[in-house]
């Protein structure tokens, strides 16, 4: 079987031997976490191999993309090649929609349940002094931190000059639906913010960081859409303190100055456009 012929169902010892270019000592699938138990299309692989410098171990996540989700691969690749957005490293993939062979292999990354409910309770139901920014207990790290990273690193892109970008541009349903000043705050938006799309990445020799998963709903569009999904769709109201932190981070990374009152109004407009209910 040639490397180009591998399908998601073929992943195993032979595949990882070719990937690592070494003798595989062990190759096992580790248990998935509760939120993925219902999906047989995602697996975490724990692999050990013997290379030139001795024994090595690695953890990988393989994900098969079903029909309608294939564009996650080109979007993911474009973001990794053209931005410095924090995301699990894409190690290998197959993008062959005609033959239903679309899957991706990334470095293993903790998701929000790996961080434990303890951290979420600290984030939303207590008010301790904020610890260092790299720690998972840092409010509003769970949801605003990766969005500040995504928005801050893509707001400065001159999108009118970008060519061959697989990320579609948002088109408002009517000219009056989203005011021009809201549309002007344009960056890559995740487009589907929910609890399973956020992960905390902690690897040896690398600083801890928050990551976002699943990019099939990504657009180049108003940043307030993502913020509205957190504030209303996820029923996690964004405090003034948290929003001030987000604005400062976006300015630090992009040089773009955002006004708190302007962002608040944009979030409310986005709530109406997206059909999100009030969290109260």
The answer as to whether 136 is a domain residue is yes
On whether both 125 and 174 belong to a single domain, the answer is yes
Hey, what are 23's tokens?
């003798």
pLDDT at 142: 66
On whether both 128 and 180 belong to a single domain, the answer is yes
pLDDT at 29: 87
The answer as to whether 21 is a domain residue is yes
On whether both 131 and 100 belong to a single domain, the answer is no
On whether both 132 and 264 belong to a single domain, the answer is yes
On whether both 137 and 231 belong to a single domain, the answer is yes
Assign 3-class secondary structure to 195-220: HHHEEEECCCCCCCEEEECCCCCCEE
8 Å CB contact between 13 and 27: yes
The answer as to whether 262 is a domain residue is yes
DSSP the chain: --GGG--GGG-SHHHHHHHHTSEEEEEEEEPPPGGGTT-TTEEEEEEEEEETTEEEEEEEEEEEPPTT-TTHHHHHHHHHHH-------EEEEEEEGGGTEEEEEEE----TTTT-HHHHHHHHH--PPP--TTSTT-TTTTTHHHHHHHHHHHTTS-GGG--S--SPBP--SSTTTS-HHHHTSEEEE-S---GGGEEEE--TTS--EEEE---TT-EEEEHHHHHHIIIIIT--PPPHHHHHHHHHHHHHHH-----HHHHHHHHHHHHHHHTPPP--
Rounded average pLDDT over 108-126:
48
Q: Is the pLDDT of residue 127 over 60?
A: no
**How far, in whole angstroms, is CA 172 from its chain's centroid?**
24
On whether both 163 and 185 belong to a single domain, the answer is yes
pLDDT at 259: 94
Q: What percent of the chain has a predicted confidence (pLDDT) above 70? A: 79
Which of 74, 89, 107 is the C-terminal boundary of a domain? 107
Q: Is the pLDDT of residue 137 over 70?
A: no
pLDDT at 96: 92
Rounded average pLDDT over 29-34:
63
* 37-91: pLDDT as tens digits: 445 588 889 999 987 778 888 889 899 998 888 999 999 999 999 998 988 889 9
On whether both 63 and 131 belong to a single domain, the answer is no
pLDDT at 10: 93
Q: Is the pLDDT of residue 279 over 70?
A: no
pLDDT at 122: 45
pLDDT at 208: 67
Residue 247's CATH number: 3.90.1200
Rounded average pLDDT over 140-150:
79
The answer as to whether 280 is a domain residue is no
Question: Which domain range does residue 85 map to?
Answer: 3-107
pTM metric for this prediction: 0.83
Q: Average model confidence (pLDDT) for the chain? A: 82
Least confident of 101-105, 218-222, 234-238, 276-280: 276-280
On whether both 87 and 128 belong to a single domain, the answer is no
Q: Is the pLDDT of residue 15 over 60?
A: yes
Residue 16's CATH number: 3.30.200.20
Which of 38, 72, 107 is the C-terminal boundary of a domain? 107
Least confident of 85-99, 108-122, 128-142: 128-142
The answer as to whether 213 is a domain residue is yes
How many structural domains compose the chain?
2
**Separation CA 54–CA 198 (nearest Å):** 34
Looking at per-residue pLDDT, the higher value among 151 and 108 belongs to: 151
Q: Which residues pair with 199 in a beta bridge?
A: 211
Rounded average pLDDT over 211-239:
90
Q: Is the pLDDT of residue 135 over 50?
A: no
On whether both 76 and 214 belong to a single domain, the answer is no
The answer as to whether 279 is a domain residue is no
* 176-215: pLDDT as tens digits: 889 999 999 999 999 998 777 777 766 666 666 778 888 9
The answer as to whether 224 is a domain residue is yes
On whether both 210 and 132 belong to a single domain, the answer is yes
On whether both 139 and 262 belong to a single domain, the answer is yes
pLDDT at 221: 96
On whether both 207 and 140 belong to a single domain, the answer is yes
8 Å CB contact between 87 and 209: no
Rounded average pLDDT over 270-277:
91
The answer as to whether 85 is a domain residue is yes
């Amino acid at each position: 079987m040639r490397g180009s012929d591998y399908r998601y169902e073929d992943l195993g010892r032979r595949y990882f031997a070719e990937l690592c270019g070494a003798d595989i000592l062990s190759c096992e699938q580790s248990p998935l976490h509760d939120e993925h138990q219902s999906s047989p299309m995602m697996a975490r692989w724990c692999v050990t191999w013997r290379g030139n410098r001795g024994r090595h171990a690695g953890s990988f996540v393989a994900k098969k993309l079903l029909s309608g989700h294939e564009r996650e691969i080109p979007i993911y690749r474009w973001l990794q090649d053209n931005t410095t957005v924090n995301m699990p490293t894409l190690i290998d993939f197959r993008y062959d929609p005609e033959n239903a062979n679309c899957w991706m292999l990334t470095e293993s990354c903790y998701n929000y349940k790996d961080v434990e409910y303890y951290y979420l309770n600290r984030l939303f139901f207590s008010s301790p002094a904020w610890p260092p920014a790299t720690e998972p207990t840092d409010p509003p790290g769970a949801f605003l931190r990766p969005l500040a990273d995504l928005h801050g690193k893509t707001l400065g892109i001159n999108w009118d000059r970008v060519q061959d970008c697989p990320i579609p541009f948002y088109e408002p349903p009517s000219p009056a639906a989203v005011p021009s000043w809201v549309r002007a705050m344009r960056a890559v938006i995740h487009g589907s913010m929910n609890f399973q799309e956020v992960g905390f990445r902690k690897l040896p020799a690398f600083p801890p960081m928050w990551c976002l998963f699943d990019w099939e709903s990504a657009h180049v569009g108003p940043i307030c859409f993502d913020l509205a999904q957190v504030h209303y769709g996820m029923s996690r109201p964004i405090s003034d303190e948290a929003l001030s932190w987000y604005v400062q981070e976006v300015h630090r990374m992009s040089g773009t100055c955002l006004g708190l009152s302007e962002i608040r109004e944009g979030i409310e407009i986005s709530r109406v456009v997206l059909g999100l209910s009030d969290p109260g």
